[in-house]
Structure 1
Amino acid sequence: MSGVPGVPFFLSVTILIISSSFLPEHAGAVNTDPSEAKALKAMKSSLIDPMMNLVTWNNGDPCTSSWTGIFCTSILNDGYLHIQEVQLLRLNLSGTLVPDLGLLSHLNILDIMWNNISGSIPKEIGNMTSLKLLLLSGNQLSGSLPDEIGLLTNLNRLQIDQNQITGPIPTSFANLNYIVHLHMNNNSISGQLPPELSRLPRLLHLLVDNNNLSGYLPPEYSGMPNLKILQLDNNNFDGATIPASYGNMTTLLKLSLRNCSLHGTIPDLSGIPHLTYLDLSWNQLKGTIPSNKLSINLTTIDLSSNFLNGSIPSSFTGFPSLQRLSLRNNLLNGLVPLVWKNMTFSGNESLILDFQNNSLSNISDTLNPPSNVSILIYGNPTCENVNQPNLIQFCQPQNITPASGSTTSSNLNCFPCPTDLSYEYNPLSPIPCLCAVPLGVGLRLKSPSISDFRPYIDAFEINLASLLNLYRYQLYFERFIWEKGPRLTMNMKLFPSNSSLFNVSEVLRLQRTFTGWEITLSDTFGPYELLNFTLGSYANVIPMATKPRLSTGSFVGILLGSVAGALIVSAVATALIMRRRSRHRMLLQKRSRSSTRIKVADVKDFTLEEMAVATNNFSKSAELGHGGYGKVYKGILADGTLVAVKRAHAGSLQGSVEFFTEIELLSRLHHRNLVSLVGYCDEDDEQLLVYEFMPNGTLRDHLSASSLGPLNFSMRLRIAMETARAILYLHTEADPPIIHRDIKASNILLDSKFVAKVADFGLSRLAPVPDIEGIVPGHVSTVVKGTPGYLDPEYFLTRKLTDKSDVYSLGVVFLELITGMRPISHGKNIVREMSNVYRSSETFSMVDSSMGSYPSECIQGFVSLAIRCCHEETDARPAMPEVTRELEKLWNMMPEIDTTFLVTKETDTGNTAKHSYSSTKQHVSSDTSRSDISSSIPPVVPR
């Protein structure tokens, strides 16, 4: 990742940090209004936050300490900051909503969508009279809707869909004069639809489908001046009829009354000039289909599963945009009409005509529809004795579901993208093979007025790109899926314009556009909801938009001053760094010229000749692997001891530093789960480290697709526990404590009994030591080193190394054990991918199938721990003692049963053999070695 041209990367990050950290003292206000701060603290106390997403809510003032999801303003100039927005979309929160929320009297947006909040909606919410967006969808809220919501006269959008709300719709909702979107679908709301809602002057969308509503359909709704969507599907208006007045709803685009137990006849709907979607299916409607000419804009007509009789009106041949006409399961007779005769098709446009299970008895022998038209006439008399080949194909029973789709990437012959960030190719970019970091967006169209999205993809892209102020090639669709409703869910990526990265302001602008519901899609696509806005790699270097906003003038002035200061700091820091590096290089050169070899107590000093003999003169056949430091060889010492010999690249500055670091540390570290240093060689510009030999290689070897001996879940959990104990020892028992800084699967080795041992201390650093006053600093400031995919985001951003940096890397290893995936693969980051599936409760879809069976509660606990270890914020991660305790708790939950598993093991002669290894799972205390235990488990969760 590069910074501003001509400016070092660390300076670019410094500028970024400074420019995103301004507190509102600059605007005159100093603290949050005490009553509003109290409300948020009460809210925090009633919420359960397993992912530690609200850890910042434990610190300082809500506005001046940048609490997650909190936006503030100083609009009143009363010396206080006021909470303007609470944005907590999809943070895996549970718990309840507290009455204290009513103290947030200046709040404009309350968004807690897609969490697990339960309990009732507090009536005190009616005190938030400034509220414009009340977004509670996708939780587990229950109880009835409080009348006090009707006091929110500034409310523009009320979304309480997909909860468990019961009771009636309060008539007080008729006072919501500014309401535009009223979404209450997918609950258990009962009672009569209030006729009083007809007084709502601005209402566009009334979605109350999938509830328990009863009574009659209020004819007064025909008088709503702006209503475009009336969606009442799957309620029980038993015996009710469709009011004739609904034929006069001149602004209506979509009328959906599916499965509502409606009786009577279909009224004349020809007076709805812009109607595009009509669904009256699964009712008990009788009589004939009105012959009056319906709107030519119709894309969908569904009158199936009623008791309609008579013939199909000839007017049904005049819909140029029709995608689906379903009349199946009725009593219709007469001729099968040539509905498509006045239509033209291009590209992926299509038409489905479903006339199955009627009494149609007449079909033309010359029936020959274009390939874009699908006709279904099974279950009609005309199919009983059909023998014409061109007609038989239409007489087969079938269901045609709405088409979903995905977009495949371009097959450009490009070099792989860098792996330090989530780079990937934008197949639509005008610059071929441009690697860029995208933003992820998930949207759901809640009530589209179409049945087939494919012909409208271009129109949707143009519409959305224009609203986002992006070029169309910046918008890349990955997939779209029709869901029950029907609703359309889509996943897309937003790419920077002909560059690798979005700048800070652009990311925040796009995030704000989505979370502030500032997008108004074309009527064709109806209302939408935001499912996710994924920052990906930007989360590491771009602050979440949670800080109080300043005026543009103030921000620019402060930013320029900060940049100037940062330039001065950078110049001084650069000079010091260069001077230090020059001095360090001179010392190393002097050391390499010296004929004096280093001496370390208790570690054998080998000669170069001994090492050459042990490795058959460093032959190719003895190579075990290689890395950034150099190559590793298998060796046999004079006494027959098997060893692993790590040989540094010739003249490697990095090798010299790592060489002395590793000897210094390993010579005084002794733990059963750390690889032992047997000796070293420092002779004739050669630097070699000699370790105990680990016959089963690295953990990474056993997680790869080509692994000869996949590890079962019990083995993986034990390896995780042993690795954690080694890191715990480094952090708490080593004297002084050590931060490993390069924990990864390839640095975890497995001995002959598959006992895990942590290796490679070349990048390790001593942990902070107390100063003269006995205070221990919280971090070590150091140049960023490590392996992409395992790097702690805060360490990468700030260069502040802490013991929690090791916790992050260890969490990535845990995710590798669970999934078998690499940390970064094909542009996908394992932490981001697993966090997404964990939040959506689809954890088991990512579990590595090669591990066989496992107890579901153990895997869930293991995943939860791994996700917490990989939290972006340092303070939200558990410390190593807690990590170790949780792993031991999971281990003790495992069944205590004799089992046998098959492993692949290298023999002392280098040949590969398979061995059956039997063991008993036992309870082992935290200070007892498990080196003789490698257990499997019986089938618990079939895979």
Structure 2
Amino acid sequence: MAYTDANHKLIRESFNDPDTLSNWGRGDPCQSNWTAVLCFNRTLDDGYLHVRELQLLSLNLSGTLSPAFGQFSNMEILDVMWNKITGSIPKEIGELRNLRLLLLNGNQLTGSLPEELGYLPNLDRIQIDQNFISGPIPTSFANLNKTKHFHMNNNSLSGQIPPELSRLPALVHMLLDNNNLSGTLPPELSQLPELLILQLDNNHFEGGIPSSYSNMLKLLKLSLRNCTLEGPIPDLSGIPKLAYIDLSNNNLNGSIPDMTLSNDTTTIDLSRNLLTGPIPRGFSGLPNLQRLDMQNNRFSGISGSINIPTNVNLSLQGNPACPNDSVADYCRSPSAIVNSLQSVPSNSTENCQPQSCPYEYAPGSPVPCFCAAPLLIGYRLKSPGISDFPAYFYSFEVYLTSGLKINQYQLDLTYEWQKGPRLRMYLKIFPVYTVPGSNTFNRSEVLRIRSMFTQWEIPDSEIFGPYELLNFTLLDPYKDFIPTPTSSSSGISKGAVAGIVVGAIVGAVLLSAFVSLYILRFHRKKYHAISRKRRISRASLKIEGVKSFTYEEMKHATHNFDVSSEIGQGGYGKVYKGVFTDGTVVAIKRAQEGSLQGEKEFLTEIELLSRLHHRNLVSLLGFCDEEGEQMLVYEFMSNGTLRDHLSGMSLKIPFVTTTSL
């Protein structure tokens, strides 16, 4: 079904955010560059272009999800992550038969899960985590034969986990932690043939851990922390690659089976239970073990000799074995996971001159002091299989950069542990140095890297687990690469406005000039954009007091049009504060590409402006018409904001033409 005007109006109105989606409703969504709308690059059988993706990630949207979403019959990705959406999930979303990714996490959704979502035949991933969704998990979800990822943690889901979910042939991640689930753990979950992560922490189950869970041959992580479980721990020796076991803060009792665990095991946390007997000696010989937490149980000692590597975080505090001198060194609280922001060591940039770099120095670049504009990415490991990240940093770097198909030195990151535990990262991805001045990505590379994250094309890692994208921030050089929200106001946004902001009628002469310039604006649309390499001859315009500047002079005066030099913005483009080599301070009004005029119109405007002189108007000093740019250079006016000038607090009234510039 084609996307109709009625549908887009319903969706836009349901968000209660007209500014963010201000261009929705202007023409066809697939041909008018709508914010966050991506379409197929071909027409389908009905002859129309159709919406393929809605990428509404982190746009500060409020309101609700409209049932009109169900009319996007060909849509494959619905992404409204990390907004402020309230209300319930519309059952009409269950009509999106082509949907692959349903990404609703990080909002304020309430109500229950619609049964209709269980009939999405192509769904690969459902993420509803970090909402307030309540009620049971629908048994219809057992029909999601292609779904690999159930991320439903941090909600208020209740009732028992449906045993019918054991029929899911492709499921690899079941994240249901931090809910109100109850009843017994279904033994049938052991029949899930591809399950890698079973994370059910902080629920209210009855009974014990089913012995059948020892048959989960592909399981990598078993996390059942704080689930009111009772009874013995089953022998988990039959799980060949089990790396992470957290059964802490339950009522498990009896002795631990003398298990032969995988050499891949990094974490064993059995603390705060009622376990007795000796700790199996096999636990002390695991080569990759990082954390062994046995505190606050009833252990009498360790079976056999103690062979714990110094890098293992071991605690036996709160056990009867602790008075024994042979284990006294281990009777202390385990080291807490560091949750402050940590940096990973990289090449030093201390000797680089900050004032000569408008972006950032790439710390990993093989070219010293390579100044470049990075992509800024918020990233989080949702269920990592490790407890100590520095020991796995190099492995993570190889994993992520190979997945993105970039060089390892292009990646720079900081990280911090968060509640869960989850590993929050702040990624910076820098372009590759090729020739002098190559300090940014091209558009196709930005779109490629972004789609790798937003479409989960980076394969999940066994040890690092599933990831989530929190934000994808584009610096100024990349702002126009992806459709983004536009401001509803075209007025000036910053104080200390230079004299280029608003028209002021001063007498009949100025009124006449306004009329003339308005006519020029009306007719400028007839002309094509000027060539990038066209240069006006200095002799073509000889007006007293008006100078022709070069593009290089403009670039140097504004530090390459750096954002720090920006003092205003309107529909014509941006205004920069510039400082020439002789110390002259000016205001430079730079036309954006869609506002460029024909050559004759631009020259005529300059001639008209040069004739306007008044003690309350700033003066036109010059212009630039090179490299496909059109810029006007004015006397710089400080001493306050536009409000100050219009209220009479300053002496000189700013002046702006009504043309496209």
| Map 1:228-247 → 2, pairs under 5 A | 228-237=196-205, 239-247=206-214
- CA deviations 1:790-814 (Å, max 9, x no partner) are xxxxxxxxxxxxxxxxxxxxxxxxx
- CA deviations 1:831-861 (Å, max 9, x no partner) are xxxxxxxxxxxxxxxxxxxxxxxxxxxxxxx
Q: Do the aligned partners of 1:126 and 1:151 also contact (CA within 8 Å) in 2?
A: yes
Instruction: Select the residue among 364, 385, 391 that pairs with 1:449.
Output: 385
TM-score (norm 2): 0.77
| Map 1:695-734 → 2, pairs under 5 A | 723-726=641-644
Q: Give the deviation of 1:441 after TM superposition.
A: 1.0
Bigger radius of gyration among the two: 1
Query: CA, structure 1 residues 690+164, in 2 after alignment: closer, same or farther (shift >3 Å)?
Result: closer
Q: Give the deviation of 1:542 after TM superposition.
A: 2.6
CA distance in 1, matches of 2:270, 2:172: 24
Letter in 2 for 1:668: N
> 1:582 maps to what in 2?
539
- CA deviations 1:730-787 (Å, max 9, x no partner) are xxxxxxxxxxxxxxxxxxxxxxxxx97487x8xx76322xxxxxxxx5x22xxxxxxx
Letter in 2 for 1:510: I
1:489 aligns with 2:424: yes
Instruction: Select the residue among 286, 300, 306 that pairs with 2:267.
Output: 300
Instruction: Select the residue among 439, 445, 456 that pairs with 1:506.
Output: 445
CA distance in 1, matches of 2:193, 2:583: 77
Q: Give the deviation of 1:364 after TM superposition.
A: 5.1
- CA deviations 1:40-90 (Å, max 9, x no partner) are 32111110227x221111411111111111111235232111111111000
| Map 1:778-793 → 2, pairs under 5 A | 779-780=660-661
Q: Secondary structure at the match of 2:129?
A: coil
CA distance in 1, matches of 2:327, 2:204: 44
Letter in 2 for 1:447: S
Q: Do the aligned partners of 1:335 and 1:362 also contact (CA within 8 Å) in 2?
A: no
Q: Do the aligned partners of 1:280 and 1:303 also contact (CA within 8 Å) in 2?
A: yes
Query: CA, structure 1 residues 573+327, in 2 after alignment: closer, same or farther (shift >3 Å)?
Result: closer
Q: Do the aligned partners of 1:723 and 1:757 also contact (CA within 8 Å) in 2?
A: no
Letter in 1 for 2:126: L
Instruction: Select the residue among 296, 311, 319 that pairs with 1:358.
Output: 319
Q: Do the aligned partners of 1:726 and 1:758 also contact (CA within 8 Å) in 2?
A: no
- CA deviations 1:88-120 (Å, max 9, x no partner) are 000000101111111111110000000000000
CA distance in 1, matches of 2:352, 2:410: 19
1:289 aligns with 2:256: yes
CA distance in 1, matches of 2:609, 2:283: 82
Letter in 1 for 2:657: A
Query: CA, structure 1 residues 35+440, in 2 after alignment: closer, same or farther (shift >3 Å)?
Result: closer
Letter in 1 for 2:539: S
Letter in 2 for 1:246: Y
CA distance in 2, matches of 1:154, 1:298: 34
Query: CA, structure 1 residues 208+726, in 2 after alignment: closer, same or farther (shift >3 Å)?
Result: same
> 2:343 maps to what in 1?
406
CA distance in 1, matches of 2:108, 2:542: 62
1:540 aligns with 2:479: yes
Q: Secondary structure at the match of 1:266?
A: coil
Query: CA, structure 1 residues 476+417, in 2 after alignment: closer, same or farther (shift >3 Å)?
Result: farther
Per mean C-alpha deviation after superposition, the further-off stretch among 329-338 and 73-82 is 329-338
Q: Secondary structure at the match of 1:427?
A: coil
- CA deviations 1:542-583 (Å, max 9, x no partner) are 34399xxxxxxxxxxxxxxxxxxxxx98886755x422x334
Query: CA, structure 1 residues 252+60, in 2 after alignment: closer, same or farther (shift >3 Å)?
Result: same
CA distance in 1, matches of 2:186, 2:146: 21
Q: Do the aligned partners of 1:412 and 1:433 also contact (CA within 8 Å) in 2?
A: no
Q: Do the aligned partners of 2:209 and 2:231 also contact (CA within 8 Å) in 1?
A: yes
Letter in 2 for 1:114: W
CA distance in 2, matches of 1:296, 1:408: 28
CA distance in 2, matches of 1:425, 1:71: 33
Instruction: Select the residue among 392, 395, 400 that pairs with 1:459.
Output: 395
Query: CA, structure 1 residues 225+37, in 2 after alignment: closer, same or farther (shift >3 Å)?
Result: farther
Q: Secondary structure at the match of 1:57?
A: coil
Letter in 1 for 2:134: T
Query: CA, structure 1 residues 756+399, in 2 after alignment: closer, same or farther (shift >3 Å)?
Result: farther
Query: CA, structure 1 residues 305+574, in 2 after alignment: closer, same or farther (shift >3 Å)?
Result: closer
1:415 aligns with 2:353: yes
Q: Do the aligned partners of 1:191 and 1:215 also contact (CA within 8 Å) in 2?
A: yes
Q: Secondary structure at the match of 1:94?
A: coil
CA distance in 2, matches of 1:398, 1:219: 33
Q: Give the deviation of 1:424 after TM superposition.
A: 0.8
- The share of aligned pairs that are identical, in percent, is 49
CA distance in 1, matches of 2:635, 2:47: 67
Query: CA, structure 1 residues 290+451, in 2 after alignment: closer, same or farther (shift >3 Å)?
Result: same
CA distance in 2, matches of 1:486, 1:366: 28
- CA deviations 1:392-433 (Å, max 9, x no partner) are xxxxx57522465114661442233556xx511001101001
Q: Give the deviation of 1:501 after TM superposition.
A: 1.1
Query: CA, structure 1 residues 539+338, in 2 after alignment: closer, same or farther (shift >3 Å)?
Result: farther
CA distance in 1, matches of 2:133, 2:258: 41
> 1:741 maps to what in 2?
none
Query: CA, structure 1 residues 328+413, in 2 after alignment: closer, same or farther (shift >3 Å)?
Result: same
CA distance in 2, matches of 1:443, 1:756: 48
Letter in 2 for 1:766: V
| Map 1:619-638 → 2, pairs under 5 A | 628=580
Q: Secondary structure at the match of 2:74?
A: coil
> 1:17 maps to what in 2?
none
1:132 aligns with 2:100: yes
Q: Do the aligned partners of 2:5 and 2:25 also contact (CA within 8 Å) in 1?
A: no
Query: CA, structure 1 residues 661+121, in 2 after alignment: closer, same or farther (shift >3 Å)?
Result: same
CA distance in 1, matches of 2:186, 2:636: 83
> 2:373 maps to what in 1?
437
Q: Secondary structure at the match of 1:96?
A: coil
Q: Do the aligned partners of 2:281 and 2:303 also contact (CA within 8 Å) in 1?
A: no
Unaligned runs of 5+ in 2: 486-526, 548-577, 587-605, 620-633
Instruction: Select the residue among 331, 336, 343 that pairs with 2:298.
Output: 331
Instruction: Select the residue among 476, 480, 495 that pairs with 2:415.
Output: 480
- CA deviations 1:7-44 (Å, max 9, x no partner) are xxxxxxxxxxxxxxxxxxxxxxxxxx544553332111
CA distance in 1, matches of 2:288, 2:137: 36
Instruction: Select the residue among 601, 605, 616 that pairs with 1:668.
Output: 616
More helix, by proportion: 1
- Equivalences, count: 549
> 1:313 maps to what in 2?
280
Q: Give the deviation of 1:662 after TM superposition.
A: 11
CA distance in 2, matches of 1:425, 1:439: 13
Q: Secondary structure at the match of 1:286?
A: strand
Q: Do the aligned partners of 1:86 and 1:110 also contact (CA within 8 Å) in 2?
A: yes
Query: CA, structure 1 residues 627+105, in 2 after alignment: closer, same or farther (shift >3 Å)?
Result: closer
What do you get for the CA RMSD once the two structures are aligned?
3.3
- CA deviations 1:455-493 (Å, max 9, x no partner) are 11111111111111101001111x111111000010011
1:523 aligns with 2:462: yes
> 2:236 maps to what in 1?
269
Letter in 2 for 1:352: N
Q: Give the deviation of 1:316 after TM superposition.
A: 1.1
CA distance in 2, matches of 1:507, 1:690: 38
Query: CA, structure 1 residues 629+140, in 2 after alignment: closer, same or farther (shift >3 Å)?
Result: same
TM-score (norm 1): 0.54
Q: Secondary structure at the match of 1:311?
A: strand
Q: Give the deviation of 1:139 after TM superposition.
A: 0.3
